[in-house]
Amino acid sequence: MNNLNNLIAKELEINENSVENTIQLLKDDATIPFIARYRKEKTGNLDETQIKNIKERFEYYTELEKRKQTVLQTIKEQGKLTPVLEKEILSCTEKQKLEDIYLPYKPKKRTRATIAKEKGLEPLADLILSQQPYKGTSPNKDDLSGAKDIIAEKISDRADIRGYLRKMAYNEGKIVSKVKKEFKTQKTKYETYYDFSEPVKKSPSHRILAMQRGEKEKVLSCKIEVDEDKALTFIDGKIIKTDKTYIFYEDLLDAIDDSFRRLIFPSIETEVLNLKIEEAEKEAINVFSKNLKNLLLSPPAGDKMILAIDPGFRTGCKVAVINKNGNFIEYKPIFPHEPQNKKTEAQSIILDFIKKHNIELISIGNGTASKETGIFINQLIKNNKLNVKSIVVSEAGASVYSASDVAIKEFPELDVTVRGAISIGRRLQDPLAELVKIDPKSIGVGQYQHDVNQTQLKKSLDLTVESAVNYVGVELNTASAEILSHVSGIGPALANNIVQFRKDNGKFKNRKQLLEVAKLGNKAFEQCAGFLRIRNGDIYLDNSAIHPESYPIVIKMAKDLDVKINELIGNEDLISKIKPDNYVTAQTGLPTLQDIISELKKPGLDPRKEFFSMEFRSDINEIGDLKEGMILEGVVTNVTNFGAFVDIGVHQDGLVHISKLSDKFVSNPYDVVSVGDTLKVKVASVDKQLKRISLEKVLNFA
């Protein structure tokens, strides 16, 4: 285990002791947010990303160790395990290298070589391969052909040859894509790749995934090309130990050529393509996760009275009133647009709602009829001089939520369209609390999310949601079961038990009451308590991120200052007198003490940014309204490795390519832009047929 800790520490450039302690905490079922927030002394102040990386590498090497045991057992059963081979297997630190070592011993399906061996031709193959002087009679054509099949397979099974050629294909090869003949004259989104070639090593994730999708849709064919002469020369150097006078010299060359073209390169090509796809998927998942986190952490409008509108033409707009706590009050449909065009009636309904419920914000979904509804509402606000603001909200995933079991359980008596409107209103009040109810894949902040490994995607997105929820913290007495299920140490079953406890016993008065919840034991309490907040409870510290295990420290701080805890909280003059060094113990170090002091200054502070909204230009409604050179404001909806997608209010996001995000070189779009940012952009070009909008960021705009 020490060797493993050392290996991970060197690989990630992290102190070995930190790695060892982190792995132990993970083994004890501690969550990543808990470890990062409350075990800083153990980890050496590692952040969530570093802890996640340790977890992933530990899982990788654990799987590798299991595979080694399977390989060793299989070779041992064959009676071919030598001390040298065993040592080579045990010291292996890469899965692919292990498989290369195992290949000669791996049980094979019936091949040309196995058929030749059944005919007793392996001694002839070994003799030819040994390149010793041959004095027997010349083998017949069929026997020689079979012997060459055996030689080809033996060459293909060599780990050193495969390892070299795999690196060569990755580092020096080119990935080539061609259009299938039936699409040659057609315009598709894959035109860039109709006759495309670039170095494998430099091909970015978005191009790899685009080519892969094009191949799946049978528009493209993709392959890897290498310098075949260089590859064959390398194999020759490894196999041939004699000169042209050797009787089987040409046969060896034939076997080498056959081995390379029929056995080695096809599998190497598949492995390298799969490796590139795996890398691309990992990058795409990382991009998706970053975008999701930024979206989940969007600034909340807070406890405002909301009028939520799910826009529509023929079926009308669904209008729902949401109170300050996110509870549904009432609903009515309006039909201000064609074909009904009942504007006067719609105005009357909206004005009545605004007056009756003291509406502060109007949340409008950004789907069909969004722009027209926004114009209608803004005109109504202006004409009636109302102190209300309308805001366009992304409705991605609202329809998924409205038909989900969660929505049905919340609003069994309501139509799906009304549930959708409620979701649109709630996500303005608190994006995090509402979006956790929706499958992250339906929120629309990822590229190629249906093309990547779905298991890995779900795992990463679940961790992202968990990270966001615990970063913000959760109000224990108002939180839904969905958001509670993402709190460190809780999960769906305990979340439902917490909600049931609230129903049966009323509001939680303190964190300790959590231990009365069915099946919530000491371990779960340790993991979750610090992330749950109780406003106006019995214990002031329960509305902070200070963990109950640290309450004695705060009590001592207050006692030393001769004040009560409630007098200490928020009093910066008193807090400035605290000397952290005086409270260091074997369990609690300066990192935790500094966190405690920061939290005492502003307990329960929402770490999200201040709420801000912008309005689209009212005269730009469809892609056809756009003209090159137009300057518009928009909201970043998605960030990729090649740029940022921006909603400018025409039902089709435009792309600001990475080269147009700054007047300086940008290697990573995340360095300059995030989901939710407001940008001023210029329309560079518009392709109405393919619905593509190219934008440029207007610089020096805050």
Task: Give one DSSP letter per residue of 155-220, joined into a string.
Answer: HHT-HHHHHHHHHHHHHH-EEEEEE-GGGTTS--TTGGGTEEEEETTT--HHHHHHHHHHHHTTSE
Residue 688 Cα to chain centre, angstroms:
31
Answer yes or no: is 505 within a domain.
yes
pLDDT of residue 663: 85
C-alpha 337/C-alpha 380 separation (Å) is 14
Same structural domain for residues 155 and 270? yes
Per the CB < 8 A criterion, the answer to whether 143 and 221 are in contact is: no
Whether residue 447 lies inside any domain: the answer is no
> CB of 490 within 8 A of CB of 452?
no
Q: Which pair of tokens denotes residue 267? A: 């599998």
Q: Is the bond preceding residue 603 a cis peptide, omega within 30 degrees?
A: no
Angle (CA) 130 136 138, round 5°: 90
Distances (CA, A) of 646 to 390, 431, 448: 20, 19, 17
User: Per the structure, how many domains does the chain have?
Assistant: 5
Show the low-confidence residues of the chain (pLDDT under 70).
Answer: 1-2, 700-702
Three-state DSSP state, 150: helix
422 shares a domain with 327? yes
- Asked, for residue 606, whether it belongs to a domain, the answer is no
Under a CB-based contact definition with an 8 Å cutoff, are residues 665 and 672 in contact? no
* DSSP, res 303: S
> Which helix (H) or strand (E) segment is 402 a member of?
helix 398-402
Residues 316 and 359 in one domain: yes
Q: Which of 657, 658, 654 minimizes the C-alpha distance to 686?
A: 654
Radius of gyration of the chain (CA): 32
| pLDDT tens-digit readout, 370-387 | 888 988 998 999 999 999
- Structural domain including 655 reads 623-697
Same domain as 596, residue 543: yes
Query: Which of 571, 601, 631 lies at the terminal end of a domain, its last residue?
Result: 601
Task: Please check whether residues 275 and 316 belong to one and the same domain.
Answer: no
Q: What is the pLDDT at residue 702? A: 43
Question: Is residue 422 within 8 Å of 322, Cβ to Cβ?
Answer: yes
Establish if 542 belongs to a structural domain: yes
Q: Tell me the β-bridge partners of 389.
A: 361
Check whether residue 129 and residue 275 sit in a common domain: yes
Q: Is the pTM of this model over 0.75?
A: yes
In a domain, 140, yes or no: yes
Whether the CB-CB separation of 306 and 322 falls below 8 Å is answered with yes
Q: State whether 582 and 635 are in the same domain.
A: no
Rounded to whole angstroms, the Cα distance separating 548 from 235 reads 66
Give the alpha-carbon dihedral of 123, 124, 125, 131, to 10 degrees.
110
Asked whether the beta carbons of 567 and 527 are under 8 A apart, the reply is: no
How many DSSP H helices and E strands does the chain contain?
29, 15
Residue 362 belongs to domain with CATH number:
3.30.420.140
Helix, strand, coil shares, percent, the chain, to 5: 55, 10, 35
Rounded to the nearest 10 degrees, the angle between the axes of helix 159-172 and helix 265-296 is 50
Starting from the edge strand earliest in sequence, which strands make up the sheet with 328-334, in order? Answer: 328-334, 317-322, 306-310, 361-365, 389-393
d(CA 282, CA 452): 8
Which CATH number does the domain housing residue 629 bear? 2.40.50.140
Residue 700 is predicted with a pLDDT of: 60
Q: Same domain, yes or no, for 477 and 561?
A: yes
Q: Quick one: DSSP state of residue 264?
A: I
Contact (CB, 8 A) for 270 and 277: no
450 in a structural domain: no
- Note the pLDDT of residue 207: 93
Q: At what angle do helices 249-258 and 228-239 cross, to 10 degrees?
A: 130
Domain boundary among 81, 105, 129: 105
DSSP secondary structure string for all residues of 4-62: HHHHHHHHHT--HHHHHHHHHHHHTT--HHHHHHH-HHHHTS--HHHHHHHHHHHHHHH
For residues 76-100, b (16+ Cβ closer than 10 Å) or e, as one string? eeeeebeeebeeebeebeeeebbbb
Question: Buried b vs exposed e over 315-353: b needs ≥16 C-beta within 10 Å?
Answer: ebbbbbbbeeebebeebbbbbbbeeeeeeeebbebbbeb
Q: State which H helix or E strand residue 330 sits in.
A: strand 328-334
Q: Write down which residue in 429, 454, 487 finishes a domain.
A: 429
C-alpha count within 13 angstroms, C-beta hemisphere, residue 469: 32
- The pLDDT, as a whole number, for residue 349 is 97
Buried b (16+ CB within 10 A) or exposed e, 42-52: bbeebebebbb
- CATH number assigned to the domain comprising residue 498: 1.10.150.310
| pLDDT for res 381 | 92
Q: Tell whether 474 and 541 lie within a shared domain.
A: yes
CA dihedral 557, 560, 563, 567 (to 10 degrees): -20
Token digits of residue 360:
């502060």
665: phi then psi, degrees, rounded to nearest 5: -65, 130
Q: Which residue has the tokens 């209008």?
A: 319
Q: 311 and 274: one domain?
A: no
User: Does any domain span residue 299?
Assistant: no
Residues 124 and 65 in one domain: no
Distance in angstroms (rounded) separating the CA atoms of residues 270 and 273: 5
Domain harbouring 149, CATH code: 1.10.3500.10
Residues 666 and 690 in one domain: yes
User: Angle, nearest 10°, between helix axes 48-77 and 95-102?
Assistant: 10
Q: For residue 185, what are the contacts with CB-CB under 8 A and spacing of at least 6? A: none
User: Is residue 459 situated within a structural domain?
Assistant: no
DSSP secondary structure of 645-682:
EEE-SSSS-EEEEGGGS-SS--S-GGGT--TT-EEEEE
Distance from C-alpha of 671 to C-alpha of 199, rounded to nearest angstrom: 26
